[in-house]
Amino acid sequence: MLADLLNTLVGLCLAYAAIFPTALGTGRDRFVLTGAVVTIVLALWARRSDSSTWQSTTTVVTGALLAILAIVHQVTPVSDVLMFWGVLWAGLVSATLSLWAALYRPPQSASAAE
């Protein structure tokens, strides 16, 4: 649960970085790549305690896609619009799914029936 809550904060920071790109200055590209790696690590850590693993799997995929986008952006010029939407959606998806995984606990009767 702690990893999901931390991943929620990382996702919100990524969304902030997308909306206000000048707030981070020249270190924005490194911040986005670091945020993508941290998102992947926290989602893998959260898989162990999640009641269903699809949220963390989706968060890992989202972090991986963001990492690929950040690496491509460092190698070749990428449109600012693509970077905005890529970072914003990655941040929002990872924050939403991580918070959902942290708060959702199925009833005990449902897990006993399985």
How far apart are the C-alpha atoms of 51 and 73, rounded to whole Å? 36
- Structure tokens, 103: 């708060």
- Interval 89-104: pLDDT, tens: 999 999 999 999 888 8
pLDDT value at residue 38? 96
8 contacts 98 by C-beta, under 8 angstroms: yes
How far apart are the C-alpha atoms of 1 and 66, rounded to whole Å? 23
- Structure tokens, 38: 């941290």
pTM: 0.86
pLDDT value at residue 24? 78
How far apart are the C-alpha atoms of 100 and 2, rounded to whole Å? 13
3 contacts 46 by C-beta, under 8 angstroms: yes
- Structure tokens, 110: 């449902």
How far apart are the C-alpha atoms of 69 and 86, rounded to whole Å? 8
Confidence of residue 58 (pLDDT cuts 50, 70, 90): very high
